[in-house]
């Protein structure tokens, strides 16, 4: 869904040109380097990703960075 600069979502009555942001990711891509059952899952916290393969992705709430949560991508 598209949003304006304040994060308000576009409604059916709004002119789309006033909502220039988005659309956003509706579904996380699968991380092929982890177990297929957890490939799309996301965990998060204030630390860097543990890179243990327990989830497909990790969101650092302190830095607002998404990263793959697998050993193959530890330095990325």
The residue ranges of DSSP E strands in the chain, in sequence order, are 42-45, 57-60, 65-68
**Strand 57-60's sheet: what is its strand order?**
42-45, 57-60, 65-68
48 or 1, which is more confident?
48
pLDDT tens digits, one per residue of 27-63: 889 999 999 999 999 999 999 999 999 999 999 999 9
Beta-bridge partners for 59: 44, 66
Q: What is the pLDDT of residue 16?
A: 84
- Residue 76 pLDDT > 80: no
Q: Are 55 and 41 in contact (CB under 8 A)?
A: yes
């Amino acid at each position: 869904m598209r949003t304006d600069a304040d994060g308000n979502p576009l409604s059916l009555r709004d002119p789309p040109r006033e909502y220039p942001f988005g659309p956003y990711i509706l579904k996380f891509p699968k991380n092929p380097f982890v177990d297929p059952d957890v490939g799309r899952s996301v965990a998060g916290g204030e630390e860097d990703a543990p890179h243990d393969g327990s989830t497909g992705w990790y969101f650092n709430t302190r830095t607002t960075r998404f990263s793959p949560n697998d050993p193959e991508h530890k330095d990325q």
